[in-house]
Structure 1
Amino acid sequence: MTQPTVTMEFVPAETYQRIQQFYARHMQLLDDGAAEEWAETFTEDAFFEQNVKDEPWRGREQIGTRLRRGIDAMGDSGVQRRHWFGMISARPGEAAGELRTRYYALVLETPAGGAPSVRLSIVGEDVLVEDDGALLVKYRSIAHDGAV
């Protein structure tokens, strides 16, 4: 019995490497608490939804404001968060110039003097676009594992 052929169009290796570099910078900004700079990696009209939030975040300004609020709420908790992205798949988007990505991510937390632990496990899907030579997130959907 022959196996069915699954055809999926992938991006060129150079584009994939660029996507990986984008995500590395994107998550390091987040882990460094640079909310405003992190928000700049989204388009002005970006849409960011999570299956654990009632309402999506809309637009770069709201994304930056809400992230800043979350970072400030952690305050001096002594906990360091690190975001790890992996298993990234990338393909051309439906519109010209768009890239669609799907990835797994872990959020690790390490308390001062303590051991790291996994706080969250998620599946993410993004639509990335190029703007003046830079990749930006136009659409993000995050599904937290175990969410009801």
Structure 2
Amino acid sequence: MARTDDDVDAALLARIHQLYGRQSHLIDGGFAREWAQTFTPDGEFCSPSYPAPVTGTDALEAFAGRFYVGARDAGEVHRHVITNVAVDRVDDDTLRVRAYLQIVATARGGASRLVRFTTIGDRVVRHGDTWLVDRRTVARDDA
């Protein structure tokens, strides 16, 4: 059971917001390896948008690479927009993070459209002196 959010101080909240902002910029910018490294080495990404969970750094890197190349080949720029980040401390080394995630696609020279609106539920763990996503579970609003 998570403790109250009173156990999460401003410095930790800032670090988690930075993690989520960095993740968005990395996957949208085609930095697949760096994005994958924001997960633990055996980190897991589970989404109903894809046929199976993606587990481990190499598989996460390949997944992020396909996402970027797919957008580029479609002549679009994709942006991950994360909002309403809520952080609860499970214990000293584990956080539960919930947030809304929108994926917006913009055709080069064209209009933007909302691809998906989702909620993410993450288990974020201390890994050395940093925090990494250990497990991400995505829930689609249209499911």
> What TM-score comes out, normalization by structure 2 length?
0.89
Runs of 4+ in 1 over 4 A off after TM superposition: none
**Cα distance in 2 between the residues matched to 1:74 and 1:85:** 19
Matched, 1:99 2:92: no
State yes or no: 1:129 paired with 2:125.
yes
Distance 1:22 1:101, change over 3 A: same
What is the alpha-carbon distance in structure 2 between the residues aligned to residue 52 and residue 112 of structure 1? Answer: 24
Secondary structure of the 2:134 match is strand
Q: In structure 1, what is the Cα distance between the partners aligned to 2:67 and 2:21?
A: 21
How many residues of Structure 1 are paired with residues of Structure 2 in the alignment? 140
In structure 1, distance between residues paired with 2:70 and 2:114: 20
**How far apart are residue 14 of structure 1 and its match?**
1.4
Determine whether 1:15 maps to 2:12. Answer: yes
Larger radius of gyration: 1
2:82 matched to which residue of 1? 85
Let me know the Cα RMSD of the aligned residues: 1.7
Shift of 1:39: 0.4
What residue ranges of structure 2 are gaps of 5+ in the alignment? none
Q: Check conservation: 2:96, 2:124, Cα contact below 8 A.
A: yes
Partner of 1:40: 37
The CA distance in 2 between the partners of 1:75 and 1:106, in whole Å, is 18
The answer to whether the 8 Å contact 2:101/2:118 transfers is: yes
Assess, with a 3 A threshold, how the Cα gap between structure 1 residues 81 and 74 changes in structure 2: closer, same or farther. Answer: closer
Q: How does 1:30-69 map to 2 (within 5 A)?
A: 30-69=27-66
Q: Could you tell me how far apart the structure 2 residues matched to 1:65 and 1:108 are? A: 21
